[in-house]
């Protein structure tokens, strides 16, 4: 499902889903979006604040403590504002896992059409 910004719609409520599966699905989704690293921040305190905010949102989504739509809007805003960095971190993760110097969204003559991105990662090839 697509929203106006072209991002897939965030779906955190799935009827009849058991609690453990719900928690795992939310944790994976949040990790794909909030994938900044310590070196993205000028200080350790700012990085820790970022992690605390992410964990707070994640916990609220899992427990259903707040209106999910409010949290989804905050996540969507973050995702739109940080789309390039999110994709860069996904590419870096892909490269680390596959032992390459490039992620799936980097086009070169040697890899165009030959690299399948991992599930959940979209390619930015022209």
What is the pLDDT at residue 46? 96
Contact (CB, 8 A) for 102 and 95? yes
What is the pLDDT at residue 93? 86
Contact (CB, 8 A) for 123 and 104? yes
Q: What is the CA radius of gyration of the chain?
A: 16
CA atoms within 13 A on the CB side of 125: 16
How far is it, in rounded angstroms, from Cα 38 to Cα 48? 8
What is the pLDDT at residue 109? 37
What is the pLDDT at residue 54? 95
pLDDT tens digits, residue range 50-79? 999 999 999 999 888 777 889 999 999 999
What is the pLDDT at residue 15? 56
Show me where the domains of the chain are located: 19-97
pLDDT tens digits, residue range 9-57? 555 555 556 888 989 999 999 999 998 999 989 999 999 999 999 999 9
Q: Examine the pLDDT at 123 and tell me if it is beyond 50.
A: no
What is the pLDDT at residue 16? 59
Q: How many CB atoms lie within 10 A of CB 95?
A: 15
How far is it, in rounded angstroms, from Cα 90 to Cα 105? 9
């Amino acid at each position: 499902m697509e929203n106006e910004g072209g991002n897939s719609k965030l779906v955190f409520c799935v009827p009849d889903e058991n609690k453990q599966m719900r928690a795992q699905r939310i944790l994976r989704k949040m990790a794909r979006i909030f994938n900044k690293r310590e070196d993205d921040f000028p200080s350790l305190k700012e990085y820790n604040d970022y992690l605390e905010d992410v964990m707070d949102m994640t916990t609220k989504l899992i427990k259903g403590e707040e209106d999910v739509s409010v949290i989804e809007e905050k996540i969507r805003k973050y995702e739109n504002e940080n789309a390039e960095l999110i994709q860069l971190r996904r590419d870096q993760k892909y490269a680390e896992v596959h032992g390459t110097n490039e992620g799936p969204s980097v086009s070169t003559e040697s890899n165009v059409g030959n690299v399948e991105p991992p599930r959940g990662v979209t390619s930015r090839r022209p």
